[in-house]
Structure 1
């Protein structure tokens, strides 16, 4: 079996998305046998020899210089997130690897206290894998049915792809799924061999065709402020502003949901729905 080659996989995926005219080449006349750019076309525009680029894509060249990475990023029309991802993959290929965080970070007492003070706004502390390290009652109740799982299994990305309620609760489910996979891809770029990231990837890839399809796209996006809508069975439809704040400059993050004034009363009912469910 060939060794893992995340840098080559990313280059191939991005090359397949472009056509000659996208990078300033004349369009090909007739049917093309290659989906997207040919290696020869990409190498020519990036200023690389074809042989060198083929070795890079195949993983036989593992130490591309900064100028090569910048040229490839420009030629492949990568955005800022994708450029950072490409640089991290190149560092990994060359053996320049950052120190790994602990697989399941501890949550400080101060952070736990903050979750209580944020109520009734839903708030969760998440590991980079999406595992829930801590949350307030509203944060747990927001993802309806998540409380049915034991604490060790509670994970946002696992909920999205494997919980039977997810497709009816999350609106639209496709957006939640795509952004969660792009975020996992972002973290995987920082450490492609990390056991915690590999574990959740392998678990979801084994059970979800949707996860496998989205993973194969190589989309890369860290979490940013967004609006999320939930079709919650206990409080009805609700749209919240979602913010991600990293704790102590680590990969552990606070996932905070702020309601618009029109939804404030519904948010206040979230904890009650959880209490009612647990008492049944």
Structure 2
């Protein structure tokens, strides 16, 4: 178990604000609501905890909720499995650098795409959706970066810690492109509640994300370069290309390659052998 994150309260607040009272089954009552989403006491009631205790959690005066309370809050907030694991990590119930579990996202992908990932087992390939959730990844991709694992949200991995900045020498460029991708999706689906909740969470928790969001860049290129300091195989310079997946709007197949005959190609070959040799 790790120390709770000061972002726990911000996460709870932004997700509470994003909840629609009608969809949450909370009667609107008389008069105009003065706050977006649910009131603190309403969410506390849905979770079966006292309003005073929930207020202490949101204000950062109590950062040690039990796993049972976290699960109750996740149900009350209608969190998906990835967001529920993130809530547990913020509360210190999971190691901060522990990637989310695999879930069943890859099983919901079309059979043809899953077969393609099997054929490309020796290539770092990541499948992600418009929220930048990792839906599937080949073993070399996960070996390349531990956050390339099903269930991980790449934006949360990037802006709630420093693992991305430690691993990528050109992290500022990559982070700007990631935010531009989310911004483009936000323009296409401005009323998407999950997108708004993710955006608001990151704006509250990360000054860097907030600054990038205000730049309003919405046209990330289909590919680029990653400059990686890998703890096992050393320095790599890889090209990545993003391909839209037919029939799955917002879903991208991201393929990483190295120029043949370069030191990066040799390092990538070593990484692939290590990743695919593991049982």
TM-score of the superposition, structure 1-length normalised? 0.55
2:134 aligned residue:
132
Say whether 1:115 aligns with 2:111. no
1:241 aligned residue:
239
Residues 137, 183 of structure 1: alpha-carbon distance in 2 compared, 3 angstrom cutoff: same
Alignment of 1:197-236 (within 5 A): 197-236=195-234
Structure 1 segments, 4+ long, off by >3 Å, are 271-276
Distance 1:223 1:240 in 2: 15
CA deviation profile, 1:216-250 (whole Å, cap 9, x unmatched): 11111234121221111111111111111111152
Task: Give the secondary-structure state (helix, strand or coil) at the position aligned to 1:171.
Answer: coil
CA deviation profile, 1:44-75 (whole Å, cap 9, x unmatched): xxxxxxxxxxxxxxxxxxxxxxxxxxxxxxxx
Distance 1:270 1:199 in 2: 36
2:266 aligned residue:
265
Quote the offset at 1:136 in angstroms: 0.4
TM-score of the superposition, structure 2-length normalised? 0.55
Bigger Cα Rg: 1
Alignment of 1:172-183 (within 5 A): 172-183=170-181
Distance 1:264 1:176 in 2: 21
Task: Give the secondary-structure state (helix, strand or coil) at the position aligned to 1:256.
Answer: strand
Distance 2:221 2:211 in 1: 20
Distance 1:255 1:215 in 2: 23
Distance 2:220 2:193 in 1: 20
Q: Give the gaps of 5 or more residues in structure 2.
A: 1-104
Distance 1:112 1:160 in 2: 26
Instruction: Output the aligned Cα RMSD.
Output: 2.5
CA deviation profile, 1:86-137 (whole Å, cap 9, x unmatched): xxxxxxxxxxxxxxxxxx7931121112112123221011001110001101
